């Protein structure tokens, strides 16, 4: 077991996550709800907690308010006490340097004072926007055995996906001898997970070297590989980057499989049950009417199910009224699905109101992408933004986007064709 006081954890949680479209219009990507009762960042925080690490800095930037409220004092993950703590680290203002983090390395560089105020032998650097379970204690032991300056968590991915990641070529000892950041023509299938262990003094010296080196994958890691000792820690468990609408939806759906690799409860993943105006702890048990039908779904506390829910994930407080059908969908907190309404292959943000007889996800054309965001929505999934209203009898096609706070008067007609946006 690594001594807890010898390791400091930094979680990068400031990314825009723009490919998640209107799910990140009002919140940072790590604060996006997941699996009914979690936020994406809960997985990184719980991995830290379960690895026995107790000092954490969370580097925020883009729309951090929801994330900050969710983190609170850190009590949900046992980060309170004399030797424990979680600290929010926003970009600095009022200095001669840029106030906005220019990259992952620049974000850490701007918080060197926090690192120095928490003496450590190693620093574990994580992204706050992945769904996974990992034992950092084992990775730290690997780092020390190899006497590495830097250790990078890496896993095998299909070669068709390697262009999305940093890619490493290793020798027989596991030392990384070549590095390519998001290669167009891959020479390896070994991808970086965005999880690093640095010797603290080595990291501080790297950050002091050249202030124009603002990104780990693009700048610092290639220089470290060229000059120093960098090893690949082999990871073989479950890990998903949920940075696109399709991958986010698919990973939620994987929760419902009988032999699913993802199991937050078994993993010891903790949500913050007290967070929000009405947290999970304040909700009554879900209620199911005698006439309802629920199949292969996750139904959180506070839900009222009077209609039909199939293959879907419902967050706390969702109300599915009589005759309504929810299929292959994800609904965030306190959505109301009106009587006789249909939701098919859609993601609804918090407090969406779906009028009586309305339809979201109409028709068989799932291949026509959204006209405004063709790289975001192209598999048939439609998005309804936070607190939007879908009027009664309105029919929404596939790959459609409805903006947060949309009102009845914002709809030009009672039908939105596939690929349209309001």
pLDDT digits (tens, 9 = 90+) for 235-264: 999 999 898 999 999 999 999 988 889 999
Query: Do 300 and 231 belong to one domain?
Result: no
Q: Are residues 201 and 297 in the same domain?
A: no
Mark whether 298 and 383 lie in a shared domain.
Answer: yes
140 and 207 fall within a common domain: yes
186 within some domain: yes
Residue among 72, 66, 80 at smallest CA distance from 272 = 72
What is the distance between the alpha carbons of residues 342 and 362, in angstroms, rounded to a whole number? 9
Reported as half-sphere exposure (CB side, CA atoms, 13 A), residue 318 has a value of 31
Are 384 and 373 in contact by the 8 Å Cβ rule? The answer is no
End-to-end CA distance of the chain: 54
* Close Cβ partners of 188 (under 8 Å, ≥ 6 residues apart): 162, 167, 168, 169, 180
Pair (224, 334) in one structural domain = no
The pTM assigned to this predicted structure is 0.93
* Residues 58 and 146 grouped into a single domain: yes
State the residue range of the domain holding 233: 4-254
For residue 369, being part of any structural domain is answered with: yes
The number of angstroms, rounded, from the C-alpha of 85 to the middle of its chain's C-alpha atoms is 22
C-alpha span between 381 and 326 (Å, rounded): 13
Do the domain assignments include residue 274?
Answer: no
Residues 108 and 53 placed together within one structural domain of the fold: yes
Residues 161 and 220 in one domain: yes
Number of helices followed by number of strands (H, E) in the chain? 9, 32
Is residue 24 within 8 A of residue 63, CB to CB? The reply is yes
State the total domains in the chain: 2
Task: Give domain status of residue 202, yes or no.
Answer: yes
Do 250 and 289 lie in a common domain?
no
> Vertex 151, ends 150 and 154: CA angle to 5°?
145
| Domain stops at, among 215, 236, 254 | 254
Evaluate whether residue 359 is within a structural domain. yes
pLDDT recorded at residue 5: 61
Whether the CA torsion 301, 307, 308, 314 is positive or negative: it is negative
Q: Which two tokens stand for residue 202?
A: 């080595």
**Please, which residues have CB within 8 angstroms of residue 50's CB and are 6 or more apart in sequence?**
135, 267, 268
Domain assignment present for 263 = no
C-alpha–C-alpha distance, residues 8 and 135, integer Å = 15
Residues 241 and 309 occupy one common structural domain: no
Of the candidates 336, 354, 313, the residue with the CA atom closest to the CA atom of residue 37: 313
Q: How many CA atoms lie within 13 A of 255 on its CB side?
A: 27
Cα 261-265-268 angle, rounded to 5 deg: 105
Per-residue DSSP letter, 273: T
For residue 130 the two structure tokens come to 């992945």
Query: According to the model, what pLDDT value does residue 328 have?
Result: 98
Domain CATH for 89: 3.90.550.10
| Strand pairing class (395-396; 359-360) | parallel
Residues of the chain with pLDDT under 70: 1-5, 15-16, 92-100, 277
User: What is the predicted pLDDT for the residue at 96?
Assistant: 46
Same domain assignment for residues 124 and 249: yes
pLDDT of residue 137: 94
Identify the domain boundary among 254, 275, 302: 254
Instruction: State whether 116 and 241 are in the same domain.
Output: yes
User: What pLDDT, on a 0 to 100 scale, did the predictor assign at position 339?
Assistant: 98
Q: Say what the pLDDT of residue 94 is.
A: 44
> Which DSSP symbol is given to 175?
B
Q: Is residue 48 part of a domain?
A: yes
Angle at 151 between CA 148 and CA 154, to 5 degrees: 145
Does a structural domain hold residue 269? no
């Amino acid at each position: 077991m690594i001594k807890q006081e010898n390791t400091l954890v930094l979680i990068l949680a400031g990314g825009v996550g723009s490919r998640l479209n209107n799910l990140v219009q009002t919140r940072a990507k790590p604060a996006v709800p997941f699996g009914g009762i979690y936020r994406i960042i809960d997985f990184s925080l719980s991995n830290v907690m379960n690895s026995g690490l107790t000092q954490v800095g969370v580097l925020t930037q883009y729309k951090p308010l929801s994330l900050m409220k969710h983190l609170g004092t850190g009590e949900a993950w046992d980060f309170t006490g004399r030797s424990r703590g979680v600290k929010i680290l926003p970009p600095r203002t009022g200095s001669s340097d840029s106030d906005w983090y220019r990259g992952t390395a620049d974000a850490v560089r701007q918080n060197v004072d926090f690192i120095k105020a928490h003496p450590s032998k190693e620093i574990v650097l994580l992204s706050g926007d992945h769904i996974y379970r990992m034992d950092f204690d084992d990775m730290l032991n690997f780092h020390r055995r190899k006497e590495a300056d830097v250790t990078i968590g890496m896993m095998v991915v299909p070669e068709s996906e390697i262009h999305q990641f940093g890619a490493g070529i290793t020798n027989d000892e596991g030392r990384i001898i070549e590095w390519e950041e998001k290669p167009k023509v891959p020479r390896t299938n070994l991808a970086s997970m965005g999880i690093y262990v640095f010797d603290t003094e080595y990291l501080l010296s790297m950050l002091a070297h050249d202030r124009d080196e603002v990104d780990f994958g693009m700048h610092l890691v290639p220089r470290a590989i060229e000059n120093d000792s960098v090893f690949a820690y082999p990871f073989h468990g479950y890990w998903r980057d949920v940075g696109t609408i399709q991958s986010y939806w698919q990973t939620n759906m994987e929760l419902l499989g009988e032999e699913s690799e993802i199991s937050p409860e078994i993993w010891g993943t903790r949500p913050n049950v007290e967070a929000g105006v009405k947290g999970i702890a304040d909700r009554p048990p879900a209620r199911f009417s005698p006439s309802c039908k629920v199949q292969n779904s996750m139904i959180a506390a506070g839900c009222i199910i009077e209609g039909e829910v199939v293959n879907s994930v419902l967050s706390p407080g969702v109300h599915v009224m009589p005759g309504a059908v929810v299929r292959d969908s994800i609904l965030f907190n306190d959505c109301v699905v009106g009587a006789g309404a249909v939701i098919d292959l859609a993601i609804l943000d918090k407090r969406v109101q779906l009028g009586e007889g309305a339809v979201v996800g109409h028709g068989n054309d799932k291949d026509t992408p959204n006209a405004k965001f063709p790289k975001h929505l192209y598999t048939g999934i439609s998005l309804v933004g936070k607190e939007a209203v879908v009027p009664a009898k309105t029919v929404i096609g596939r790959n459609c986007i409805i903006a947060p706070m949309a009102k009845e008067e914002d709809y030009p007609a009672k039908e939105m064709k596939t690929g349209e946006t309001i």
